[in-house]
Amino acid sequence: MTTLASGVKTFGNFIDGKWIPASSGNTSENRNPADNRELLGIFQRSNEPEVNLAVEAAQAAFRKWSRVPAPRRAEILMRTAAILEERKEEFARDMTREMGKVLKETRGDVQEAIDTAYYFAGEGRRMFGLTTPSELPSKFAMCTREPVGVCGMICPWNFPMAIPSWKLFPALVAGNTCVIKPAEITPLSLMNLMGALTQAGLPAGVVNVVTGHAHEVGKVLTEHPLVRAVSFTGSTEVGRIVGVSCSHTFKRCALEMGGKNPMIVLDDANLDLALEGALWGAFGTSGQRCTATSRIIVQKGVYRRFAEELAKRAQLLRIGNGLDENMDIGPVVSRQQMETVLHYVEIGKREGARLACGGDRCDNAGCGHGFFVEPTVFTDVEPKMRIAQEEIFGPVVSLLPCNSLEDAVEIANGGDSGLSSALYTRDVNRALEAIAGLDAGIAYIDAPTIGAEVHLPFGGVKQSGNGHREGGVGALDFYTQWKTVYIDYSDRLQRAQIDRPE
C-alpha cells in the first residue's frame, strides 16, 4: 500500500500477508457517491494471475490453519471484534464516504460485523458433532464437522463490512481459508476489516483479498479447481451465472440474491407504526437492500389514508451527505445506479401507476456533485407491472390495494423472489396465517422487511436463494462437511447388515 503526494492511498491486493499489485497494471478509483470530486483510494483491477496466487496461498495455509483447534481460531475473532469496536467510528465514516449511506446506518454495519465476530467466536467451542449407538456390538459411531477447504467469496456493495463478516467469520472458525472479492465500487471497507483481522493475529494466507471486476476476478474464482466452496451475494441474474459455473467442478455454492419484498398492511393495523416501518423499510440505505420494502400491499379500508400519509412523510425526509448527522437518506451508490432507478421511475409512469411523490434526481443544495434520488412513492400499482415485479434497488416503493389477507398473500407470492416479508395487524390469528402462507425465507410481524440478527439464519426461497443460509448455525452447515467415524473394537470383522446379530 502506497500513499500519493495528494494523500490518497493506493491499495494492492492482500495475498499471503503481502500487498501485491495487479500484473496488468490497471487500477480503479474509489470515489464518494455523495461528492464525486472526493477520491478515497486507488485499487487494483486484478485478473487471473492474482486470483491464482491468492488461491495457492489459501491452499498452502489451509494445511496448518485447519489443524489449529477451533477455540484458538475463535480467539482471533474475539480480538478482531475488540479492534472493530475500538475503530468503529473511523470505519463507519470511511464506509459512508465510500458507499453513501448515512452514519447511523454505517455504524450499524460495523456493529453487525462486531456482533458476527463475537457470535462465531462463541461457536469455536460449539463445533458439535454427534454420537449415536451402532447397530453392531463392540462398535462406536460418531460424526464430526470438518472444514471444506479453500472458500471463494463474492460480496456486494450495500453492506461492505457486514456481509463479508457473515462469510469470513464462520468460514474461519470452522477451519477454512478464504479468497474474498469485494464489490469493485466499495473495496475500502473490506480492507479495513482485513486490517482488523491481521492486527488480531490471523496468519498470512488464511484470508486473501483480490479486488477487481466480477468478470475478471469472480469468474476465475468460481472456476478455479482448488476452490471447494463459493459464497455469493448479489443479483439473481449474476447468481445464476455463479451457480452454473460452480456446478462444473461440483463446488458447494451458496447464493443469496435479490428480493421484491412485500409488506402487508391490514385494516386493523397500527397505522402510525406501519407508516414508520414503511419509511425505514423502503428508504433506508436509499432502498439499496435486498430486503428493502419495495411493495406495500394495503387493505382497501385504509389504503387512501395510508398512501396519502406515506407520500407526505416521504417528502419530509432529509436528503444529503451521510456524514451530516441530520440527514435521513444519502445518495445511491453510483451514477449507473441512479440512472437505473430513474429509468424504472419512467417505466412506472408509462405503465400507468400514479406518482405520488419524488421520481427525480434530488437538486437540493449540496447534492449537485452526488447521485441523489428523491424518495419515490407510486400508488395504484397493479401486481403485474414491472415496478411491482422487478428489483429496482433504489428509493422507490409501490403501493398495491388488496381486499383481504388472502388476497394480499396471493399478491405477495405472485413473483419469482421470496426473501423477506412483513405483515402489520393486531390479529394474532391472521398473523399466524400469514406466516404460514407467505413464500419467503424471513417473515416479520409489525416490523418492516429489513434487518437480520446474526445468530439467526438469513436467506430466501424461490429465486432469492438456493437453499443455503447465512448467519447462525446455517452458516456453519455451509462451511463444514460431515465426517462419519466408526471404531470397531470387537477384534473381528463385522459386515454391518450382513452380520446382523439374530
pTM strictly above 0.85: yes
pLDDT at 5 over 60: no
Catalytic residues, which ones? 256, 290
The CATH number corresponding to 48-257+465-484 among 3.40.605.10, 2.80.10.50, 3.40.50.10240, 3.40.50.20 equals 3.40.605.10
Quote the pLDDT of residue 1.
63
421 in Cβ contact with 405 (< 8 Å): no
pLDDT at 43 over 80: yes
Count of beta carbons in the 10 Å neighbourhood of residue 30: 24
pLDDT tens-digit series, residues 141-188: 999 999 999 999 999 999 999 999 999 999 999 999 999 999 999 999
Q: How far is residue 485 from each of residues 126, 132, 150, 298, 479, measured CA to CA in Å?
A: 19, 11, 23, 55, 19
Query: Would you list the DSSP string of 209-257?
Result: E--S-IIIIIHHHHH-TTEEEEEEES-HHHHHHHHHHHHTTT-EEEEE-
Q: For a pLDDT cut of 70, what percent of the chain falls above it?
A: 99
Which neighbouring-strand residues pair with 357? 377
Count of beta carbons in the 10 Å neighbourhood of residue 201: 10
| 3-class secondary-structure state, position 367 | coil
pLDDT tens-digit series, residues 322-356: 999 999 999 999 999 999 999 999 999 999 999 99
At 94, list the grid cell.
470511511
152 in Cβ contact with 91 (< 8 Å): no
Report, as an integer, the average pLDDT of 437-451: 95
71 in Cβ contact with 81 (< 8 Å): no
Report, as an integer, the average pLDDT of 93-106: 98
Between β-strands 417-418 and 461-462, what pairing exists: parallel, antiparallel or unpaired?
Answer: antiparallel
Q: How far is residue 323 from each of residues 36, 39, 163, 284, measured CA to CA in Å?
A: 14, 16, 22, 15
Q: How many whole angstroms separate alpha carbon 464 and alpha carbon 340?
A: 20
Predicted confidence band at 451 (pLDDT cuts at 50, 70, 90)? confident
**Domain limits, the chain:** 48-257+465-484, 261-445
Give the fold, CATH level 3, of 261-445: Aldehyde Dehydrogenase; Chain A, domain 2 (3.40.309)
Quote the pLDDT of residue 499.
83
pLDDT tens-digit series, residues 416-433: 999 999 999 999 999 999
pLDDT tens-digit series, residues 216-238: 999 999 999 999 999 999 999 99
Between β-strands 150-154 and 177-181, what pairing exists: parallel, antiparallel or unpaired?
Answer: parallel
Count of beta carbons in the 10 Å neighbourhood of residue 144: 14
Q: How far is residue 495 from each of residues 231, 280, 487, measured CA to CA in Å?
A: 40, 62, 13
Q: CB under 8 Å to 360, separation ≥6 — which residues?
A: 342, 345, 373, 374
Quote the pLDDT of residue 4.
60
Q: For a pLDDT cut of 90, what percent of the chain falls above it?
A: 95
Q: How many whole angstroms separate alpha carbon 157 and alpha carbon 483?
A: 36
Q: How far is CA 369 from the centre of its chain?
A: 28
